[in-house]
């Protein structure tokens, strides 16, 4: 594993942070192309503003979500709440935060939310794939011990290595990275250019990711818990049910006739 890319004196660049930068840069290019292809009325500089604000909303949402489910700890050390460099970002909170900020930005610009959501969905899941590779290099978001031949022994200085020193564990971050790349390929090469109602690509992203996350989460060693239940599994199951119901009820896979989903949530 290679958590620190390089270090100059007290200044260091971590691999996980690099993956965030790569995700933002690559995602911005994909979103710009989709905005242009779909004829969404945003200028190039407005697309970048949209990306930046959505990322900020996603990071804040991811942190607040994580802190909420670890409040017993953070209530004792409140100065740690903003210390995201110490770890602690939850993807479901990131999605909620990013979507909330994106909705407000698009409403201000009078841009249909669901049409833009379809343009953004492939970039989101690809960014999540980059992020999981960052988790692997950092040795976090790790799994439980395994006897399977692809189990990974993480360095003892990593989070996974400290919890399971010298023990092969499930590389759950790579499982999810593979899942995310598969979903990206489906969205980008199969769904995005087909005729369908606005919201279909984004809803499909949510359903596919949540279904896969439900199973990967069962192998995680660092899950957020709500009593005896894994929070990510509860949320994932709820998203699968709700997303599937919306796709079915609105028949989102059909061609747009006049107007699909409204621009309101």
Structure confidence by residue, pLDDT tens digits, 7-26: 787 787 788 889 999 999 99
Residue 258 included in any domain: no
Residue 34 included in any domain: yes
* CB-based contacts of 121, cutoff 8 Å, min separation 6: 187, 201, 202, 204, 205
Residue 256 included in any domain: no
| Contact indicator for 68, 61 with CB cutoff of 8 Å | no
pLDDT classification of 258: cutoffs 50, 70, 90: low
Q: Which domain holds residue 14?
A: 4-250
Residue 64 included in any domain: yes
Cα first-last separation, the chain:
42
With H, G, I as helix, E, B as strand and everything else as coil, classify residue 4: strand
Residue 12 included in any domain: yes
pLDDT digits (tens, 9 = 90+) for 90-137: 999 999 999 999 999 999 999 999 999 999 999 999 999 999 999 999
Count of the separate structural domains present in the chain: 1
Residue 180 included in any domain: yes
Residue 170 included in any domain: yes
pLDDT score, position 147 = 97
* Residue found under tokens 């390929």: 185
Residue 265 included in any domain: no
Query: What are the distances in angstroms from CA 251 to CA 37, 78, 190, 255, 258?
Result: 23, 46, 18, 9, 14
């Amino acid at each position: 594993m290679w958590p620190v890319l390089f270090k100059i004196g007290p200044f260091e660049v971590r691999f996980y942070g690099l993956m965030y930068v790569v995700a933002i840069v690559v995602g911005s290019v994909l979103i710009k192309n989709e905005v242009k292809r779909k004829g969404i009325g945003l200028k190039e500089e407005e697309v970048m503003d949209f990306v930046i604000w959505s990322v900020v909303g996603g990071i804040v949402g991811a942190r607040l979500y994580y802190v909420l489910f670890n409040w017993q700890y953070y209530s004792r050390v409140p100065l740690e709440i903003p210390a995201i460099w110490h770890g602690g970002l939850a993807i479901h909170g990131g999605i909620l935060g990013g979507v909330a900020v994106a909705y407000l930005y698009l409403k201000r610009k009078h841009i249909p939310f669901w049409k833009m959501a379809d343009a953004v969905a492939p970039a989101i899941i690809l960014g999540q794939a980059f992020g999981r590779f960052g988790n692997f290099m950092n040795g976090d978001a790790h799994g439980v011990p395994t006897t399977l031949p692809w189990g990974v022994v993480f360095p003892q200085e990593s989070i996974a290595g400290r919890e399971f020193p010298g023990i092969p564990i499930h590389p759950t971050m790579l499982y999810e990275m593979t899942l995310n790349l598969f979903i990206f390929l489906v969205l980008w090469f199969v769904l995005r250019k087909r005729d369908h109602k606005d919201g279909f690509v984004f809803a499909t992203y949510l359903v596919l990711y949540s279904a896969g996350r439900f199973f990967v989460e069962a192998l995680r060693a660092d899950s957020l818990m709500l009593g005896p239940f894994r929070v990510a599994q509860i949320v994932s199951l709820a998203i699968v049910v709700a997303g599937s119901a919306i796709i079915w009820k609105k028949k989102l896979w059909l061609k747009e006739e006049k107007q699909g989903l409204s621009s309101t949530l």
